[in-house]
Amino acid sequence: MSESKPRIFSGMQPTGTLHIGNYLGALRNWTQIQYDYEPIFCVVDLHAITLYQDPAELREAIDRTAALYIAAGIDPEHSAVFVQSQIAGHVELSWIFTCCTPLGWLNRMTQFKAKSEKQKQESVGTGLLAYPVLMAADILLYQAKIVPVGEDQSQHLELTRNIAERFNHLYGDTFVVPETRLPAVGARIMGLDDPTQKMSKSSENPNHAVSMLEAPSRIKKLFGRAVTDSNPAVDYETMGDGVKNLLAIYQAFSGDANDRMRAEFEGMRYGDLKKRVTEITVAKLEPIQAKYHELMADRGELHALLARSADRIRPWAEETVQLAKRRTGLFVN
């Protein structure tokens, strides 16, 4: 582990179970780049409670998410893997940023608009609006240079950059202004029931997402029911969003180049396309699922591993919080 490598930070919410969109859009990218950086991968439980979560289910989902990170290939001997609420600095820095973030910036966030519209306006928690400020704190707390995420997080990342620049302008150079890193393929996997919506953990439609822990028979059913279009077979000139999404999933798993994809799938009937997408998804998820079950069978070891990571990086967070407090004129011991 080299201290001189630039830090990267990313995280996922422990809401439900991670799906192939989370995997192909973010998690797999983390596993591929982890050794080039000083990586910090967080289970962002404080973000999860911006919408009500059943406490027992949340507690379980935290373990599940951490175990899936490792099962997917995050190396906990190299990368920090921990839970956000283990390190108090996330919340401390978030408050400081809340005080220098104009409300207008938050009102423009499309994810807030989409999620708050789903709820009755008066029951929307303030935390849902402040969510991107906490996300800025997560990243800037570790002075991360690179943030590998899916495309849906681009707007939040731009806000993080704006907050860092504003703080630096108000109080003097303090924070590294981070860059977003999107994957080349798979940055936006869409819902199988509605290919105009990104695949999301919180959809109520059971035919929407393929969870990383789905059984092969269920994966087959889910792809079998996936929306396509009125053509009988793949036509690259006229294909609709549903077919594009199935091809994008296949390509993200296989890593095949565009011309090879076209040569293989042009003219293929949808039944066969779905079969191919099912096969590759099952094959890629199988080893991850096996490792996941091993990790979940020994919770003591899983928790010890999270504690070791948190203990290792807590001093980095404390250093940044102390610096931000001094810069803003707050009391520092």
Which tokens is 288 given? 């991850």
Residues 225, 199: contact at Cβ < 8 Å? Answer: no
Place of tokens 């890629």: 284
Catalytic residue among 113, 145, 198, 274: 198
Give the SS3 label for residue 175.
Answer: coil
> CA 283, CA 53: separation in Å to the nearest integer?
32
Which of 198/274 has CB closer to ligand AQP?
Answer: 198
Which of 15/34 has CB closer to ligand AQP?
Answer: 15
Closest distance of CB 224 from ligand AQP, Å: 20
Closest distance of CB 187 from ligand AQP, Å: 6
Give per-residue burial for 217-234: e unless 16+ CB within 10 Å, then b.
eebbebbeebbbbeeebb
φ, ψ of residue 209 in degrees (nearest 5): -125, 155
Residues 130, 98: contact at Cβ < 8 Å? Answer: yes
DSSP for residue 189? P
Closest distance of CB 330 from ligand AQP, Å: 30
φ, ψ of residue 210 in degrees (nearest 5): -105, 110
Residue 283 vs residues 183, 217, 229, 280, 296: alpha-carbon distances, Å: 21, 13, 26, 5, 21
Closest distance of CB 52 from ligand AQP, Å: 12
Which of 145/201 has CB closer to ligand AQP?
Answer: 201
Which of 21/39 has CB closer to ligand AQP?
Answer: 21
φ, ψ of residue 298 in degrees (nearest 5): -130, 80
Residue 190 bridge partners (DSSP): 198
Catalytic (active site) residue 201? yes
Residue 73 vs residues 23, 32, 287: alpha-carbon distances, Å: 11, 9, 10
Catalytic (active site) residue 198? yes
Which of 71/324 has CB closer to ligand AQP?
Answer: 71
Q: Which amino acid, 181?
A: R
φ, ψ of residue 225 in degrees (nearest 5): -90, -5
Closest distance of CB 65 from ligand AQP, Å: 8
DSSP for residue 9? E
Which of 43/324 has CB closer to ligand AQP?
Answer: 43
Closest distance of CB 325 from ligand AQP, Å: 28
Beta carbons within 10 angstroms of residue 328's beta carbon? 14
Which of 115/220 has CB closer to ligand AQP?
Answer: 115
DSSP for residue 211? B
Tell me the residue number closest to ligand AQP, measured at CB: 25
Q: Which residues bind ligand AQP (CB under 6 A)?
A: 12-13, 15, 21-22, 25-26, 149-150, 152-153, 187-189, 198-202
DSSP for residue 185? S
Closest distance of CB 202 from ligand AQP, Å: 3
Catalytic residue among 145, 201, 274, 284: 201
Residues 6+ apart with CB under 8 A from 110: 155
Catalytic residues: 115, 198, 201
